[in-house]
Chain A
Amino acid sequence: MTKEQIFELWAPRGAAWSPWAKPVLFSQMDRADAAPSTPLNPEADLAWAAGLQTDAAIVVDLPGPMGVSIGVSLAPLGYRPVPLYNACPEPPGMPSMVDIRPIMNAVATAAPILEQLALHPDARPAFLLDADRNHARILRSPGAFDNRSISLPTDFPSSSLLLARGIQRILLVTANPGPPQADLSHTLRRWQDAKLKIQVKALSDPALPAPITISRPWAFGLFWYNLAATVRLMRSPLGGFGGALPMPSAG
């Protein structure tokens, strides 16, 4: 398959949530990346999802290709996986701080499955994030490629749009119990403030999805949050650029 065909299957024309699919990974797929190679986990236990009500959207925050695997497994239940992966793979010859290639391979592997499923254009969304997006797997060192990223509220539809489309509740799927990641909390808290009900399901915990209250995260609601969050990323002790990076260079 070409990258165009793969992107079309993940973000088909006319599907309600396609505009939010991030094109970053797809744009950088070369022939090798676009070839299915990573087997998806077919054994995912989705008993917890079977009982979800029809007014729920899902945010899958799982590491690496696991998010793709779960996202595709949710598709037969009526959810359209919406990839929000927003990191570049490393240039040739450079080790990357976040391993994106397995996700790219999983995305390519899953494309034919999505084609067979022929989801309804109005299928509810399951937004897919890499839980390792801001976790460096290697130390920052000369020659390393820092491709950590964060999730921003503007990556998602607003609460008013979700409500207008009949979404009343959000299920956050994580690998382990615990509070949501700080960056994602900004989005979840906005939704919570708009009276969307937030639930969480940790895959390592057999318990069914449970309601969760999202605490007010750092700098919540400040108009400069996107900017400040990115600055924080750059100043992370795990890496960064050693200086204040107040905003993107693009003028």
Chain B
Amino acid sequence: MGLVTALRPPPRLSALPLRVGQTLDAEVFHEVRQSLVLDGCKWDPQVGDVETISRFPLLLSSEHWRSISRLAQSLATELMAAERELLARPKLHGTLGLPRRIRALLRHARCADAVPCPARVLRFDFHWTDDSWCISEVNSDVPGGFTEASTLPRLVAKHSPGARPAGDPGAIWAEAMSKSIPPDEPIVLLAASGFMEDQQVVIFLERLLAGYGFRTRRTLPEHVKWRDGVAYLDEPVGAIVRFYQAEWLKASRDRCMFVGGRTPVANPCTAILSESKRFPLTWHKLATPMPTWPRLLPETRDPREVDWQHDESWLVKSAFCNTGDTVAMRSLLTDRQWRSVQRRVWLHPRDWIAQRRFATAPLATDAGSVFPCLGVYTINGQAAGIYGRYSRTPLIDFSAIDVAVLIEDEPGDLR
């Protein structure tokens, strides 16, 4: 997730490509919220005293949407090519900070061993700085936020004249699945059952698949059996939808979701290669051209190479930092928390990265300044929609507020 600090002077707000849309009236917001929680499976609309669904949308100009769509597509193309190369270059897997058991599993992998994937989903977290876009990371393994990027904008757009959703990643994903999965075999959805954040995503996806007539079965990885690279429950499985982090899987048991499996998996477990926040440390050794990534991602280094402990222009985060929880900036932590981070990085430097901080432009709202983050989805390489969030602090994490990002129609646009 993204982070941002005020290291540079605040930018002129008029330069922002985003503006705040009209606040929904209480009656309309209630209807939107009820629809989102009951039909869209958004089950965490309140965290403590904080309402996590924004009552207003953010409006993005068509020009900027086209711009970040193109950037996201370029990033996706480069990432998927790099992943293929990395799969066949196990010597780089140590640099990525992969768990030892997964490194062992991938040691003899070849490109030909790649598991088929009917709908590869990526989400790039974009931030507007003074005068340009940058990204804080890609969610490559199990990107969440489908309903917030699909249902929420659709519901809010009905009440926002002159604006439309950027896309519908849920619908695009389900359509992509429907085009390549045989309809007579069940689709298995994997999620850790104790995590409501994950359950709400898979149940939302399950409902989308049901719309295409698929039978679905929710279960755990340990219940999936593999024969000759084909997944079975008590019958052959048509495809696996994995909302279960690759690093949690057992390499021996779940090997066919990484390499060699013939049952399609979305996303394939080799996504872990680019999910690692240490992915940028491998670029200079890759043959794959990566022209877009270095332009958009802040400088990223091994924490042993830079003085992140004293230079506040750096932050550190763990190699597998899924919800922003391990992003550490000295100015946002207590002394005790900072010492804990220092200790952890010192003990396991290969599990962390240091990254240059950047300043997201704050957006003025009636409720004060907020720091927006636009999570741009690509599905099979094509831009598919935006998961919008904002935070009142420079750090976007699990407690950020979800906001519908709508695209402003240009004169002459047909809705």
Contact = CB atoms under 8 A, between A and B. Distances in A.
Given A22-B43, A28-B203, A243-B248, A250 B223 contact: no
Contacts of B219: 91, 94
A23 B38 contact: yes
B196 A24 contact: yes
B38 A26 contact: yes
A238 to B, nearest CB: 11
Interface string A215-231: 00000000110010010
B45 A23 contact: yes
Interface stretch (A66-74, A146-154, A203-211): A146-154
A116 B10 CA distance: 55
A7 to B, nearest CB: 6
Contact of B34 (A7, A14, A243): A7
Contacts of A22: 43
A244 B49 CA distance: 30
A142 B142 contact: no
A126 B43 CA distance: 20
Contact of B196 (A8, A26, A86): A86
Interface in B42-98: 42-43, 45-49, 51
Interface string A122-156: 00000000000000000000110111110001101
A242 B222 contact: yes
B177 to A, nearest CB: 18
B16 interface: no
A149 B139 CA distance: 26
A153 B325 contact: no
* A-B CB proximity, top 10 nearest: A250-B144, A251-B139, A23-B37, A248-B197, A249-B142, A13-B30, A154-B48, A146-B193, A251-B322, A19-B46
Interface string A151-168: 001101110110000000
Contact of B45 (A13, A19, A91): A19
B41 interface: yes
Contacts of B323: 247-248, 250-251
A24 B144 contact: no
B194 A149 contact: yes
Contacts of A147: 193-194
Given A4-B34, A157-B48, A247-B323, 7 more contacts: A160-B49, A233-B194, A234-B192, A240-B194, A241-B222, A246-B320, A251-B143
B198 interface: yes
A3 interface: yes
A151 to B, nearest CB: 12
5 contacts: A14-B26, A23-B43, A27-B38, A241-B248, A249-B244
A251 B45 contact: no
Contacts of B243: 249-250
The binding surface of chain A is classed by DSSP as loop
Contacts of A230: 194-195
A24 B43 contact: yes
Interface residues of B, number: 53
B217 interface: yes
B337 A88 contact: no
A241 B220 contact: yes
Contact of A91 (B39, B194, B218): B218
B348 interface: no
B379 interface: no
Contacts of B42: 23
B192 A241 contact: yes
A86 B46 CA distance: 13
B245 interface: yes
A250 B193 contact: no
A227 B34 contact: no
A247 B34 CA distance: 27
B172 interface: no
A19 B51 contact: yes
B191 interface: yes
Interface in A171-204: none
With a 10 A CB-CB cut-off, give which of B38, B42, B217 has the most chain A CB atoms.
B38
A87 to B, nearest CB: 8
With a 10 A CB-CB cut-off, give which of B37, B51, B139, B141 has the most chain A CB atoms.
B37
Contacts of A249: 141-142, 144, 191-192, 195, 197-198, 243-245, 248, 322
